[in-house]
A = this chain, B = another copy of it.
């Protein structure tokens, strides 16, 4: 609260660079996936999160936070993926409010087909442009910034 009201020049540069990244990088990743696999990044992430589970299943609410989206957005995404045959939805046996989304065989195949192109794009746009040291540094920085609403991670200066 006693912080200065404006940014220092160094902070300003960092913020401008980050803002540009925030606008442009998603577009570059999105367009490859859309073009080659007809999937949005968020769709792809949802498929990935499901595929990483042994049973290829997850509750909607857990899936939403894994994929970093809102519940209502996830609901629409899964509805689309279900319509495309990539996932199924069923009531959870233990808690009848909950819904379990499950990746289908078709969905697995879709992911297997889409992954190489996407990974290549990630490599092109990100790792080909960074030194190994920068990759490590990026991991720390992104980890520190990835939870906007987490109060524990800020104001460590006391």
Contact = CB atoms under 8 A, between A and B. Distances in A.
Contacts of A42: 23
Interface in A17-44: 17-29, 41-42
Contact of A7 (B15, B21, B122, B125): B122
A21 B146 CA distance: 4
A128 interface: yes
A140 to B, nearest CB: 7
A122 B155 CA distance: 13
Interface residues of A, number: 62
Contact of A128 (B14, B18, B154): B154
A10 interface: yes
A19 B5 contact: no
A53 B123 CA distance: 36
Interface stretch (A55-63, A83-91, A104-112, A130-138): A130-138
Contacts of A143: 17
Nearest to A137: B137
19 contacts: A3-B128, A7-B119, A7-B127, A10-B132, A10-B139, A11-B127, A13-B139, A14-B135, A14-B139, A17-B142, A17-B143, A20-B68, A21-B142, A23-B45, A23-B69, A124-B154, A125-B148, A126-B145, A129-B154
Given A10-B136, A24-B148, A141-B141, 16 more contacts: A3-B120, A5-B116, A5-B119, A11-B135, A13-B139, A14-B127, A15-B122, A22-B25, A23-B45, A23-B67, A24-B147, A25-B145, A28-B149, A125-B148, A130-B141, A137-B137
